[in-house]
Amino acid sequence: MSDDKLLAEQVMPPPLFGAEDGRALAEAALRSITASTARVRGDDFLRILVHDLARALDVTYVIAGRVIVMEDGQEGIRTLAVWGGADYLPNMEYSLLHTPCQDVTDQSMCFHACGIQADYPKDTLLVDMRAESYIGMPMIDTEGRTLGILSAIDTKPMSEDKRLLALSLLSIFAARGAAELQHQEREQVLEHKVQQRTEALRAAQTILIEQEKMAALGALVAGVAHEVNTPIGVAVTAASTLSSYAAELAKCVSGERVSRSELVATAQRMQEAASLVERNLLRAADLIGNFKQLAVDQGSLHVTTLALLEHAQSVVSAHGPALRKSGISVVLDIAPELRVRLDPGRWSQVLSNLLMNSAKHAYPNGGPGVVTLGARMALDGGARWLLLEFADDGVGMTKEVRERLFEPFFTTKRGQGGSGLGMHIVYTIMQQMGGQAAVEACQSGSRIKLRLPAPEQA
């Protein structure tokens, strides 16, 4: 037996027909039903109500239903609670066409003391219920709309006394039922609005995160372009000088008299210029290679085996211009043989955001400063984990900043170019990769600990 059924039976007395006059009976039933439904809302209220009304009126069926639009465009009823004599019946949907409920939804009380099947011969549901009598009341909201119906149906005729009692009780509780349905409607509208705004916020946040990634990549491009310009410029100058030395050599060789010392000096200058060109072009190639690797990584969505030290060196090198501008040097405490399967794109983004966060916030007045990235493997609960620690010796964080560090849109640089998404992206990526990110309180500087699952390599 369900809890609400048990509650209803505990509160409701047995039928009192014939024991008191009509008014006393109505008052007793009203007090009893009011007491049993006082502390329940929504569908629970309707379930207890149909049970208690059936007992008070001594009828077989009581139905509470909501007006709906059927698939064929016709109006119908979707029952919310149905008492069927001995227990609750499954909820159902049925068309209002050719039913007494259709008259009720026209906002009029409908009463048939007997012969209901003859009055509505096309209503097969009445036949299935072996209905003989019917009384129904519309549930009308505060705006005058019919939200549903509350009806009592019996397999025997209804007397005039029962009609008056039913009219009294149904009128009162149809109003209460309408309030419940209207409350449900408002909750659904509110939930729909909340869902729409939540989806809009998520979409906006996704766009902002992508913009943040593009801004970070744009800053990286600008920094690398500036950095590459230096060795390229030196190489161009050296190549021009080498060309002039070659012209001098050709002039010296084509002369009538060739001095050995001049040839040696010119050849030595050419060798130095060629070496200068080679070194600077190699430097430019190295920068471009690091940037290319990082750019490809950030656009990839696959897991591969990474040499952590080599990969971290590439990321640090690509951010070299911004780090040097802030006076920051980076120490990598990672064993050369440490390898783990990771998504290089997301991992590059994590390292990039950590480095740039330190550059922006740890040294507000510039360096010198030292950032350390350490990594090691550990066993925990029989599983292998990659443990990483990112630390700087900057100004540190207040308790409030530590508590809100990974919160989206939180920044201490509002209005100074800070979006508040950098560390949120770190936290989100770590969650996506099955890991964790946490900030640790320390005496000086800042320390962020990362933890990633690192299963055995196949």
Tens-place pLDDT, residues 129-151 = 999 999 999 999 888 888 999 99
Q: How far is CA 427 from the centre of its chain?
A: 14
pLDDT of residue 244: 80
Residues 6+ apart with CB under 8 A from 346: 429, 432, 433
Q: What is the pLDDT of residue 253?
A: 76
Tracing tokens 């780090």 back to the chain, one arrives at 323
- Whether the Cβ atoms of residue 332 and residue 311 lie closer than 8 Å to each other: no
What letter would DSSP give residue 188? H
SS3 328: strand
Are 296 and 217 contacting, i.e. CB atoms less than 8 angstroms apart? no
Q: Please write the tens of the pLDDT for every residue from 262-316.
A: 778 878 888 887 888 887 787 777 666 655 555 544 445 577 888 889 989 888 8
Say how far apart CA 298 and CA 34 lie, in whole Å.
Answer: 65
| pLDDT, averaged across the chain | 80
Nearest to 380 by CA among 271, 303, 454, 282: 454
pLDDT at 119: 92
User: Cα separation of 426 and 372, whole Å?
Assistant: 17
| Sign for the pseudo-dihedral over CA of 340, 300, 216, 402 | negative
What is the mean pLDDT of the segment spanning 240-262? 77
CA 19 vs CA 16, 53, 200, 263, 319: distances in Å: 5, 18, 62, 135, 92
Fold exhibited by the domain 19-191: Beta-Lactamase (3.30.450)
Which residues are paired to 311 by β-bridges?
none
pLDDT computed for residue 335 by the predictor: 92
Q: What is the CATH number of domain 304-453?
A: 3.30.565.10
Contacts 24+ apart (CB under 8 A), 116-121: 116/153
Percent of the chain with pLDDT over 90: 20
Q: What is the pLDDT of residue 12?
A: 40
> Measuring CA to CA, how many Å separate 391 from each of 27, 309, 331, 355?
76, 16, 10, 10
Question: What are the pLDDT digits (tens) for 166-195?
Answer: 888 888 888 888 888 888 888 888 888 888
Name 6's Cβ contacts closer than 8 Å, sequence gap at least 6: none
User: pLDDT tens digits for 65-87?
Assistant: 999 998 888 899 999 999 998 89
Element (H, E) at 61: strand 61-69
Q: How high is the pLDDT of residue 380?
A: 80
Q: What is the mean pLDDT of residues 390-413?
A: 81
Domain residue spans of the chain: 19-191, 208-297, 304-453
Q: Is the pLDDT of residue 120 over 80?
A: yes
Which strands, in side-by-side order, build the sheet including 93-95? 93-95, 75-84, 61-69, 146-154, 133-140, 110-112
Bridge partners of residue 391, in order along the sequence: 372, 447
Tokens 């659904």, residue located:
188
pLDDT of 127 above 80: yes
Find the mean pLDDT for residues 51-75. Answer: 90
Q: What are phi and psi of 36, to 5 degrees?
A: -75, -25
CB burial class (10 A; 0-12, 13-18, 19+) of residue 187? exposed
The mean per-residue pLDDT over the stretch 104-125 comes to 89
- Dihedral (Cα; 377, 380, 383, 384), 10-degree rounding: 0
Query: What pLDDT shows up at residue 304?
Result: 83
Question: pTM of the predicted model, to two decimals?
Answer: 0.44
For 313-456, strand residue ranges (E) read: 328-333, 339-342, 369-380, 383-392, 436-440, 446-453
pLDDT of residue 5: 40
Question: How confident is the model over 321-348, as pLDDT tens digits?
Answer: 778 888 889 999 999 999 888 888 888 8
